[in-house]
């Protein structure tokens, strides 16, 4: 679901499935200010309405854990540098940093970054396809020295993926936004849906 919403594979997905042990050393060190910043980014993506927002789910802390425990060293650096890049993009667009921006300015910025991230993802997919083709040719020619190159994901794609994952797997996200049954009963393969019904956790 997260991959579909963000237009590409979930960064660190393999590590998530294996218990979040990427095997890489910790390249990212987060400050309290970084976590507060990420909370505000997440809250802009999933703001509080008549249901809780991402900040109430402490998505900033979730991002820190997932990046340091599950991301490869290269992606950790890209993510942490992305905090600075996002703030600079806000200064360029609005004349001040993200933390000083109004909710409307934050939303405008993130919509722009989301477009950039989708364009980056298209280039990344094309690059990876080319690398796959080169690898096949190398194997066919018994070239054992060939090594596939990797193009990092856009920092905003990572932030958006972690926001969605962190929120909808949190207690508030799964019990107050999604419909949650703590102890499921019998299997029901077809449940009537009414417009406006919440999705199941």
Question: What range does the domain containing 16 cover?
Answer: 2-115+155-173
117-150 pLDDT, tens digit per residue, is: 999 999 999 999 999 999 899 888 888 888 888 8
Residue 16 maps to a domain: yes
Segment 13-35, tens digit of pLDDT: 555 555 555 556 666 689 999 99
Q: How many domains does the chain have?
A: 1
Would you say residue 142 lies in a domain? Answer: no
Q: Does any domain span residue 122?
A: no
Q: What is the pTM of this model?
A: 0.77
Within-domain flag for 140: no
Task: With respect to residue 180, please indicate whether it lies within any of the assigned structural domains.
Answer: no
DSSP string, the chain: -HHHHHTSPPTTHHHHHTTS---S-------HHHHHHHHHHHHHHS--SSS--TTTTTHHHHHHHHHHHHS-HHHHHHHHHHHHHHHHHHHHHHSS-GGGS-HHHHHHHHHHHHHHHHHHHHHHHHHHHHHHHHHHHHHHTT-TT------PPPHHHHHHHHHHHHHHTSHHIIIIISB--SS--S--S-----TTPPPB-
């Amino acid at each position: 679901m997260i991959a579909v919403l963000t237009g590409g594979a979930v960064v660190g997905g393999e590590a998530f499935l294996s218990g979040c042990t990427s095997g890489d050393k910790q390249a990212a060190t987060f400050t309290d200010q970084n976590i507060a910043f990420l909370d505000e980014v997440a809250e802009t993506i999933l703001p509080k309405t008549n249901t809780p927002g991402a900040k109430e789910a402490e998505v900033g802390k979730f991002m820190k854990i997932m990046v340091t425990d599950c991301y490869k060293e290269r992606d950790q650096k890209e993510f942490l540098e992305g905090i600075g890049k996002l703030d600079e993009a806000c200064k360029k667009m609005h004349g001040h940093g993200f933390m000083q921006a109004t909710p409307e300015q934050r939303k405008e910025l993130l919509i722009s970054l989301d477009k950039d991230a989708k364009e980056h993802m298209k280039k990344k997919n094309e690059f990876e396809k080319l690398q796959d083709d080169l690898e096949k040719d190398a194997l066919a020619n018994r070239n054992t020295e060939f090594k596939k190159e990797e193009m990092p994901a856009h920092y905003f794609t990572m932030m958006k993926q972690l926001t969605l994952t962190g929120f909808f797997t949190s207690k508030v996200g799964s019990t107050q936004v999604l419909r949650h049954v703590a102890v499921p009963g019998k299997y029901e393969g077809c449940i009537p849906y009414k417009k406006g019904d919440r999705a199941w956790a």
